[in-house]
Amino acid sequence: MFFVAGSIFAQDVLPTPTPARRRGWLGRLLHPFSPDSLPQYKDARLRGLTVDLQIAPQTIKLSEVRQLGIKLTLANISKQRPVTLDFPTNQRIEIYLMNSEGNILTKWSDNHAITEKAVTILINPQERIEYNESIATRDLTPNKVFIAEVFFPQYPELRARQKFLAVP
């Protein structure tokens, strides 16, 4: 469950932690079933959060698919403290489709209206938020590898990238 501007919502998501530092051998020996590691962010407020990105389908047939499905999961895998995220607008995430050189081809926010509406989200320990969005594939060319990058504009450290292939 998470708190959004006075309302409570529940969303079920499968967590996948992002890689970070490996634990030492003593920590693995004393706590064998605890998560391998927590991501280390410069912003201490974000500690305990993990970001997972899934793209559907992995190989895109441009003749059949006009929209690329993006699923971003933000999970609080800490056991002690909730994490509060503040957003000044109704935009939570930004999605970039980039070519293999890193040049931005498509921005998700270009096709969405963004309004000034401040919201605070509280993610309790062991809870997740899932964002399901889609982005147009019109700028993609066949037989090339592309990159989908998803991040939170308010919190640039929370980002995930994934490569995918576009075929005719």
Go through the domains of the chain in sequence order and give each one's CATH number: 2-167 (2.60.40.2360)
- Which tens digit of pLDDT belongs to each residue from 73-125? 999 988 888 999 999 999 999 999 999 898 999 999 888 888 899 999 999 99
- Which tens digit of pLDDT belongs to each residue from 53-83? 999 888 888 888 888 999 999 999 888 889 9
Contact 120, 90 (CB under 8 A): no
HEC assignment per residue over 106-155: EEHHHHCCCCCCCEEEEECCCEEEEEEEEEECCCCCCCEEEEEEEEECCE
